[in-house]
């Protein structure tokens, strides 16, 4: 397929290159930030609109809701160049409510729209091992599935209504944040009580408390290695989406709110660009005790 790919950051770049490796033609808009690897792999065109004119499928991988709206509907952007039959796939993590609006506006131009946010981080993107959560029509999903299979492994059509993928990603981020909080609290408690947190982690890995968060993030907490796999600032953006959507739905998310406040405490201490496992720093401050 001829694929227009817009958003070639930490996640988007390896995802686009995996599509190229699978034999697809890659079209990207000019940006000073384009790497030499992307320039060699893709046809570089002057604007998103020019990319869309030559593409059968347009994939977006952008930071936040306003970025997606600007690329889709801003001056000289995607919507102006859409031709009937083009498939638009937004793989960003953005507002479920806004997604429904974006999909309706794209559908009005005779095009299909899928929201397909991902989980798995930069490593999952590089290794084509992302989890992909999709909302949109079955026929559009079937058309996109071969593309998803070049970027991920766990691929699920959550629902045929647009927004279902984004709802699932928000739920994922709630679970991840609360697991990080639970692991951080447990390690701070154990360390303050005089136990070696590394050995506590080792013991818990063999029991019912075992999880990927305990495996990966607890080790980061113990070693103090907070170079980002997934930055706190981005996780805060996702929890904002959760709390905003919860207000719209009249749903209480008390522990999500407390996790957001702990992230905010780390940001206030200068840690917004650290990995989200650095949440433990806020709990250490509250306890007056570092586990390292």
CA distance 230 to 63: 12
Helix (H, G, I), strand (E, B) or coil at 46: coil
d(CA 127, CA 144): 19
Rounded to the nearest 10 degrees, how much is the dihedral formed by the CA atoms of 256, 117, 98, 266?
40
- Which residue(s) pair with 209 in the sheet? none
* Catalytic entry in 169, 192, 223, 237: 169
Is there a catalytic annotation at residue 153? no
Cα four-point dihedral sign 160, 162, 167, 169: positive
The residue assigned the tokens 């999909």 is 103
C-alpha distances in Å from residue 246, one per residue of 101, 155, 254, 260: 18, 26, 10, 14
User: Which parts of the chain are beta strand (E)?
Assistant: 2-6, 25-29, 43-45, 57-60, 87-90, 112-115, 118-119, 130-135, 152-159
Helix (H, G, I), strand (E, B) or coil at 45: strand
Q: Give the C-alpha separation, 22 to 74, whole Å.
A: 31
Of the candidates 208, 108, 210, 101, the one whose C-alpha atom is nearest the C-alpha of residue 162 is: 101
**Cα–Cα distance between 107 and 126 in angstroms, integer?**
31
Contact assessment for residue 152 and residue 120, using Cβ atoms and an 8 Å cutoff:
yes
Q: Give catalytic residues, as residue numbers.
A: 169
């Amino acid at each position: 397929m001829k694929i227009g790919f817009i958003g070639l950051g930490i996640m988007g770049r390896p995802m686009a290159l995996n599509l190229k490796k699978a034999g697809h033609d890659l079209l990207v808009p000019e940006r000073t930030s384009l790497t030499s690897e992307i320039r060699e792999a893709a046809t570089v065109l002057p604007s998103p609109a020019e990319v869309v004119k030559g593409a059968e499928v347009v994939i977006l991988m952008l930071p936040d809701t306003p970025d997606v709206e600007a690329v889709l509907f801003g001056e000289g952007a995607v919507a102006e160049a859409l031709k009937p039959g083009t498939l638009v796939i937004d793989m960003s993590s953005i507002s479920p409510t806004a997604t429904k609006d974006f999909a309706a506006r794209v559908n009005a131009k005779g095009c299909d729209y899928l929201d397909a946010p991902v989980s798995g981080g930069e490593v999952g993107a590089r290794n084509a091992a992302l989890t992909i959560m999709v909302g949109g029509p079955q026929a559009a999903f079937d058309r996109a599935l071969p593309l998803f299979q070049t970027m991920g492994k766990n691929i699920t059509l959550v629902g045929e209504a647009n927004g279902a993928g984004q709802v699932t990603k928000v739920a994922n981020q709630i679970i991840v944040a609360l697991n990080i909080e639970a692991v951080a609290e447990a390690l701070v408690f154990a360390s303050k009580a005089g136990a070696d947190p590394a050995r506590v982690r080792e013991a818990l890995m063999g029991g019912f408390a075992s999880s990927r968060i305990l495996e990966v993030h607890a080790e980061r907490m113990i070693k103090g290695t907070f170079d980002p796999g997934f930055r706190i600032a981005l996780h805060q953006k996702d929890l904002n989406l959760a709390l905003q959507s919860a207000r719209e739905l009249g749903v209480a998310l008390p522990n999500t709110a407390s996790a957001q406040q702990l992230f905010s405490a780390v940001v206030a201490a200068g840690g917004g660009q650290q990995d989200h496992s650095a949440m433990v720093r806020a709990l250490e401050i509250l306890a007056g005790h570092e586990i390292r």
